[in-house]
Chains A and B, each alone.
Chain A
Amino acid sequence: MSGEEVRRAVVRDSLGVAIATGTYGLSFGAVGVASGLDVAQTCALSLVMFTGASQFALVGVLGSGGTPLAGALTALLLGTRNTLYGLRMAPLLGYRGWRRLAAAQVLIDESTAMSVTRPDRSLARTGFLTTGLTIFALWNLTTLVGAVAGEQLGDPKDLGLDAAVGAAFLALLWPRLSTPVLRVTAVLAALVAAGAVTVTPAGVPVLVAAGVAVLVAALAPRPARQPEDAP
């Protein structure tokens, strides 16, 4: 393939991932208003926070009766994985100044995945920007549509939207269960959270379960880290 063909292939693959992901915003918008946020707050999350798992976590904790502080802490803990993506992507992308400030906002799971394997900086930037900017535009648009539609549709419980939040978290979790250590971590965290539900205020069980990650990381036998593990 010529250089131009390779670039077009990167753009095409990135757009495919971006269009599929960008439409998740529909479910986030609907779940956001179902959890008690208004349309403006739901849309502000997609604009400012712009990292899906953290957004779902914040509205999920609020919707199940947790405090705003517990929701914010859960969202921030989930957001730490983007820091690791940044560490890996920084030398590849080589952005400085205002470009780095702008690029940081679209540093998410998918833009990292579509960029990190590229052989050179130019193709890495093409994958990163095509994926990140397309998702940013679609995600915000579909969040607004989902939030407005969710608000018009009536009681979220009648629509089953409260039950859909658990499905959203499971769908985000599913592709991450790639090794035995990760699966054990998930089961232990679920058990700890279930136990904590009965003794702590809403929102706290999820934060307690973060301790499972610390314990497993400290105690599990350590396999050699694979540098190419998917984000």
Chain B
Amino acid sequence: MIWWAVLGAGIGCYLLKLVGLSVPARVLGNPLVARIADLIPVALLAALVTVQVLAAPEGRALTLDGRVLALGVAVLLLLARAPFLVVVFGSAVAAALVRLL
């Protein structure tokens, strides 16, 4: 099943790129469609942050644990304009340290 998701979504994402390069701009020129498409990445990424950090590992509940602190470290690193890799691995180190304590 994982292979199907990997290849199906992978090929689908390629086709989404190809469609953009291939269809006349007016086909997707509807202003509402354009506004939705602008907002979708922000909505999905914000939801992904929330679920990754707050969803309990056993499901269907919210929980506060080391992941919240790790996200706080990520916020501080982003405010300090740290590069992407520093943000990600800095946050991982924070979570690992909290769990050691």
Q: List residues of A whose CB falls within 8 A of some B CB.
A: 20-21, 23-24, 26-27, 31, 36-37, 41, 44-45, 47-51, 53-54, 56-58, 60-62, 64-65, 68-69, 71-91, 93, 95, 100-101, 103-105, 107, 157-174, 176-177, 181-182, 185-190, 192-194, 197-199, 201-202, 205-206, 208-210, 212-214, 216-218, 222, 225
A35 → chain B closest CB, angstroms: 10
Bound CA–CA A100/B20 (angstroms): 11
Inter-subunit contact B5/A69 (CB<8 Å)? yes
Inter-subunit contact B21/A95 (CB<8 Å)? yes
Inter-subunit contact B78/A171 (CB<8 Å)? yes
Closest to B18 in A: A104
User: In the complex, given contacts A23-B85, A78-B45, A166-B49, what are 15 additional A-B residue pairs having Cβ atoms less than 8 angstroms apart?
Assistant: A20-B84, A37-B2, A58-B6, A58-B9, A79-B17, A84-B34, A86-B19, A100-B21, A105-B17, A170-B75, A185-B39, A189-B42, A197-B51, A201-B60, A213-B44
Q: List residues of B whose CB falls within 8 A of some A CB.
A: 1-14, 16-23, 25, 28, 31-32, 34-55, 57, 59-62, 66-67, 70-71, 73-75, 78, 83-85, 87-97, 99
Bound CA–CA A218/B11 (angstroms): 30
Closest to B52 in A: A166
Residues of A within 8 A of B35 (CB): 217, 222
Inter-subunit contact A65/B37 (CB<8 Å)? no
Residues of B within 8 A of A163 (CB): 53, 66-67, 70-71, 91-92, 94-95
Inter-subunit contact A182/B13 (CB<8 Å)? no
Main secondary structure of the interface of A (DSSP, over half): helix
Inter-subunit contact A79/B13 (CB<8 Å)? yes
B7 → chain A closest CB, angstroms: 7
Residues of B within 8 A of A218 (CB): 32
Specify which of A44, A78, A103 lies most central, judged by the most chain B CB atoms within 10 Å of its CB.
A78
Residues of A within 8 A of B20 (CB): 82-87, 89-90, 104, 107
Bound CA–CA A45/B13 (angstroms): 10
Residues of B within 8 A of A95 (CB): 21
A179 → chain B closest CB, angstroms: 10
- Could you pull out 23 A-B pairs where Cβ atoms are within 8 angstroms? A44-B7, A45-B6, A57-B48, A64-B52, A68-B1, A72-B8, A75-B13, A84-B28, A84-B38, A86-B21, A104-B14, A159-B96, A160-B93, A163-B67, A164-B88, A165-B52, A167-B74, A170-B87, A185-B46, A192-B47, A193-B51, A197-B50, A202-B55
Residues of A within 8 A of B10 (CB): 44-45, 47-50
